[in-house]
Amino acid sequence: MKQSSWAPLGAIALALVAAAPLAQAQQKSVAVTAIVEHPALDAIRDGVKASLAAAGYEEGKTLKWQYQSAQGNTGTAAQIARKFVGDQPDAIVAIATPSAQAVVAATKTVPVIFSAVTDPVAAKLVKDWEPSKTNVTGVSDLLALDKQMELVKQVVPNAKRVGVVYNPGEANSAVVVKELKALLPKMGMTLVEAAAPRSVDVGSAARSLIGKADVIYTSTDNNVVSAYESLVKVGQEAKLPLIAADADSVKRGAIASYGINYRDLGEQTGRMVVRVLKGEKPGDIKPEISTKLELTVNPGAAEKQGVKLSDAFIKSAAHIVK
């Protein structure tokens, strides 16, 4: 019995041989991995593929395309990383932080292009935002705050004091506030902070801004987003215009947002992959952030919060909430 119980192992060994990939010389190969299936992450993958196709890399003809999802398991993510490095593709695209870290830990030679990593410097994928001189580059989904503040000026042209409601315990929000403190004076505005350590505090934090701020801006702070309705209530009562960072909050009652379209982020990533396939070294390409942000406008909310939007502005929006 002991002898025969090794049969499954034999079967595996056979299958391994059968699974050995066939080498194809003239094709370029791109291996894509994401930590989990998720609408935003899937949109990035499709965007990468679209960019490759636009540059003449067609799956099955001039491109060997491979996609693996770790289905939420970091152990599997690590194994996918090893498999990809073993396959020696021309480029690996790693979507979201855990997958990117697993791939970067697994290879120092195969080109790696990360995508949707909010802070690649904190995640130690790259040293700074300059060309890394390593095998790693990519696109971050960090929001550029100057563009966000330009939107604030567009919606409320005479705004001088920008109120921000945020959770000081959330690392990303703390970073946003710190950056705003430096940025706003340059644009002739000042920052007014209101802390909401719990989601139930969001309403009272917003109320504390009445009379002290001309407009309220919120980032994608989890506390604020989960209690956005309480912010909307204050905005309507006190005629305090609300500007958000994601389209979903606009649907819930903010006037406008300038947010990331993940399909575009994928296409941007894909264009970077094309540069690598054409022979550029990833270490010479500067990590990027999303360049194409999408405007979402809610004219009904603007009216309730005492703001008159110009028709040209509404027409320039990618999405209009009715």
Partner 1 sequence: MSLFSLLGAVEIGLIFSLVALGVFISFRLLRFPDLTVDGSFPLGGAVCAVLISTGTNPYVATLAATAAGAGAGLITGWLNVKLKIMDLLASILMMIALYSINLRIMGGPNVPLINDPTLFTLLQPEGMADYVARPALLLVIVIAAKLAMDWFFATERGLAIRATGSNARMARAQGVNTGAMVLLGMAVSNALVALAGALFAQTQGGADISMGIGTIVIGLAAVIVGESILPSRRLVWATLAVIIGAIVYRFFIALALNSDFIGLKAQDLNLVTAVLVTVALVIPQIKRKLSARRR
Q: Binding residues for partner 1, per CB under 8 A? A: 1-2, 4-9, 11-12, 15-16, 18-21, 35, 37, 66-69, 71-83, 85-88, 97-98, 101-102, 104-106, 122-125, 171
| Nearest CB to partner 1, comparing residues 15 and 312 | 15
| 36 residue type, one letter | V
Closest approach, Cβ 102 to partner 1, in A, equals: 5
Closest approach, Cβ 142 to partner 1, in A, equals: 15
320 burial type by CB count under 10 A (0-12 exposed, 13-18 middle, 19+ buried): middle
| Nearest CB to partner 1, comparing residues 35 and 274 | 35
Closest approach, Cβ 123 to partner 1, in A, equals: 5
Q: Report how far residue 38's alpha carbon sits from residue 48's, in angstroms, rounded to the nearest whole number.
A: 15
Find residue 195's DSSP bridge partners: 166
| Nearest CB to partner 1, comparing residues 75 and 188 | 75
| Nearest CB to partner 1, comparing residues 124 and 239 | 124
Q: Report how far residue 38's alpha carbon sits from residue 71's, in angstroms, rounded to the nearest whole number.
A: 10
CA distances from 296 to 47, 260, 266 (A): 20, 10, 20
Closest approach, Cβ 40 to partner 1, in A, equals: 16
Cβ neighbour number for residue 15 with a 10 Å cutoff? 9
Closest approach, Cβ 166 to partner 1, in A, equals: 16
| Nearest CB to partner 1, comparing residues 70 and 255 | 70
Residue 297 in contact with residue 273, Cβ under 8 Å?
no
Torsion of CA 206, 212, 215, 221, to 10 degrees: -40
